[in-house]
Structure 1
Amino acid sequence: MDERNAVDVGDADALRALASSCRPVVIRKHCSHWPAVAAAARGTDAAMAYLAQYDAGLTAEYFSAPASLAGRYHYGAGISGFNFLREVIAVRDALARISANALSERETGYMGSLPTEAHFPGFAVDNPSMLLDGHVRPRLWVGNRSTVACHYDSYDNLACVVAGRRRFTLYPPEAIGDLYIGPIDHTLSGQPVSMVAGVAEDTDAYPRFAAARAKAIDVELYPGDALYLPKLWWHQVEALDSINILVNYWWDGFSAGPDSPYAALLLAMIAIAERPASERAAWRAYFDHYVFRVDGHPLAHLPEEKHGVLGPLAQGNYGRIRTLVMRMLRGS
């Protein structure tokens, strides 16, 4: 696991270089200078009071579970339901419940993915990341001890620990077949999750999981530390202390337009996934040639001015290809 100090990764260009490698990197003390981290170091009351001063008075989704579950949020019996409750309450009430839980431990709770711009205006200005410009808006996660099920994100992620320790268990994208992924349209909170990672010890029922576990990277972060996590890396996140606060940034530094790779994946599912195996293999060859370009640019043998729509996307070809696709989808 690559580890760096904040001084080694000092600007947006350095972060772009990290993203190009598609490998996770721990950045120690990246946000140790934040006032929020200093407040959290003074204790639970100071940490929650610091957040409360930015509270915009909005509501948010609050997740809770009995203390007996030790904060392990997942499916319930089978996959028809979940083992936690969710409700929409005022942010200030959620902060109060999280604080009370830290003392009584009758339940665990958390709020996640709250845009600071809306829910805690001014927080990002007072606690900035030197790696990202103001166009990437941070989100706030606040809660008690919890284990967020192993999932992936389709954006690059910079996760900054403000309070409490965080343990990330990371699996590379190629481990997907060994993680026994659940449904993509009935999820805990948006993304599909592993049905086995961090949950099941029955390796006989999940024989391929051993191969995934052999590739796992375990990382523990402390207040002030950050983790750069590339898109599509699977990660289980454990908040280890009675109060935990994390700020994260999601962005896609290599997007050529508004269309996401995930949309292309879904379209391929309906266009290709149930065709005969031999035909799928043929399409794989075309994807490798035109999309993944395992042997370089598909028209490298021609002059660049003859590349047509396979020329650089930034030279108008993004819009030209998109127009072709939209016409096909409309059946025209």
Structure 2
Amino acid sequence: MSGAAVEIDRAALTDPAAFRRLVAEPCQPVVIRGAVAGWPLAEAVKDGAALRDYLARFEAGHPVEAFVGDPAIAGRYHYTDDLAGFNFRRERMALGEAVARITKPGEATESVYAGSLPTEVFLPGLAADNALPFAPAGVSPRLWIGHASTIACHYDMLDNIACVVAGERRFTLYPPDAIGDLYVGPIDHTMAGQPVALAAEATPGDPRYPRFEHAAARAITVDLGPGDALYMPKLWWHRVEARGALNLLVNYWWDAFPVGPDQPFVTLLLAMSAIAARPAPERAAWAAWFDHYAFRPDGHPLAHLPEERHGVLGDNPENMKMLRAQAMRMLRGG
């Protein structure tokens, strides 16, 4: 049975600090109804010609790479059956051409989808004209526009505020620790950068994915309409169905809790290269060390010592720099 996401009153999010405290810090998905209902962009999307004219005011002229699918895929962008290729093609075109093809009156003969477009590059000035007061300072939004589509279940390595401007979107969310039940595809042969959960895209009861029923039982389904927003913490899996003839979304990606210059995924890649092929007992030993020093389920590893004796593990940004410097020396063989 699908669960429900937490919802918060838009009026409570007076600034980025309130958003961080009330929404980001619990690290759970949160729905914000009516978050962007007053945007000029939200008014423009009510008419295809008005939207084209509005976006043209900001267009910088850079070509975009769009996904284009035949009618047979019904907007479901995915792998071919053998995972060797994809069921859509990529086409480079002007943003204005993509918008024109998406908003063309009449029944679409193909599905077109242009996504992850940084507005500061493709549409400078659009973000200032459509501000989100509680978004973290300095975070530039991205634009996603297309016909009806289904984007395969994937995760992001950054925190995400997804704002629906046109159309309706259904997000199906799975928590990060469901990864083992999602049967994740290749990490180096992907549609758009992130690996996808193959089981979430398969027919229910597919015998290739027997553990998926455990993930499905923990799924959270969120339906958003125009003006609504969804906060998703990093590493939450999400399948996205855009259900309108015209769908437009603006999202904000950022790291809500940065610690240093390195992203945790870099550490994961190094751990896979150094640990994954070792014998199971040794992997278990390293898992205990990772838990003790990095994940700390029992608290600080030197809590039994006075703080002045915590050394490089002391709670100080300079100590983080020292740990990183030592790791870099070791990687260089020093």
Aligned match of 1:31 in 31, 36, 56?
36
Residue 93 of structure 1, CA deviation: 1.2
Instruction: Please name the residue that 1:96 is paired with.
Output: 100
Range with greater deviation from structure 2 (61-70 or 151-160): 61-70
> What are the equivalent positions in structure 2 for 1:149-298 lying under 5 Å apart?
149-298=152-301
What amino acid is aligned across from residue 67 of structure 2 in structure 1?
A: F
Aligned-partner residue type, residue 13 of structure 2: V
Moved over 6 A (4+): none
TM score, norm. by length of structure 2: 0.96
- What is the DSSP-based 3-state SS (H/G/I as helix, E as strand, rest coil) of the residue aligned with 2:199? coil
| Structure 2 unaligned spans of 5+ | none
Structure 1 residue 57 corresponds to structure 2 residue 68 = no
Which letter does structure 2 place at the counterpart of 1:327? R
Superposed displacement of residue 194, structure 1: 1.0
Q: Check the 8 A contact 2:69/2:111 in 1, yes or no.
A: yes
Distance 1:221 1:48, change over 3 A: farther
1:48 to partner: Cα distance: 3.1
**Alpha-carbon distance, 1:198 to partner:** 3.0
CA shift digits 1:60-110 (9 cap, x unpaired): 11111012211000001211000000022111111112123x623110011
1:22 aligned residue: 27
The two structures have a TM-score, normalised by structure 1, of 0.96
Instruction: Work out the CA distance in 2 between the residues paired with 1:48 and 1:167.
Output: 25
Partner residue of 1:47?
Answer: 51
Equivalent residue in structure 2 for 1:69, among 55, 67, 73: 73
1:325 equivalent among 323, 327, 332: 327
- The one-letter amino acid of 1:320's match is M
2:108 alignment partner in structure 1: 105
Distance (Å, rounded) in 2 between the aligned partners of 1:81 and 1:131: 40
How far apart, CA to CA, are the structure 2 residues paired with 1:77 and 1:203? 14
- More off after superposition, 131-140 vs 121-130: 131-140
Cα distance between partner residues in 2 of 1:274 and 1:299: 30
Number of equivalences: 329
Write the distance in 2 (CA, Å) between the matches of 1:68 and 1:166: 21
Q: CA deviation at 1:220?
A: 0.8
Could you tell me which amino acid in structure 1 is paired with residue 35 of structure 2? H
8 Å Cα contact 1:256/1:313 also seen in 2: no
CA–CA separation in structure 2 for the residues paired with 1:39 and 1:293:
50
Distance in 2, Cα, partners of 1:317 & 1:103:
61
Deviates further, 103-112 or 7-16:
7-16
Q: CA deviation at 1:202?
A: 4.2
State the AA in 2 paired with 1:93. E
**SS of the residue 2:200 aligns to:** coil
Could you tell me how far apart the structure 2 residues matched to 1:274 and 1:159 are? 38
Q: 1:280 to 1:294 in 2, by over 3 A?
A: same
The verdict on how the C-alpha distance between 1:313 and 1:240 changes in structure 2, with shifts beyond 3 A counting, is: farther
Report what 1:140 is aligned to. 143
How far the C-alpha of 1:160 sits from its partner, in A, is 0.6
Letter in 2 for 1:99: T
C-alpha distance in structure 2 between counterparts of 1:122 and 1:6, whole Å? 24
Structure 1: runs of 5+ lacking an equivalent:
none
Q: Identical aligned pairs, as a percentage?
A: 56
Separation in 2 of the partners of 1:265 and 1:133? 27
Residue 13 of structure 1 aligns with which residue? 17
CA-CA distance at 1:313 after TM superposition: 4.1
* C-alpha distance in structure 2 between counterparts of 1:270 and 1:3, whole Å: 40
User: Contact 1:150 / 1:197 at 8 angstroms: preserved in 2?
Assistant: yes
Do the aligned residues in 1 keep the contact of 2:52 with 2:96 (CA within 8 Å)? no
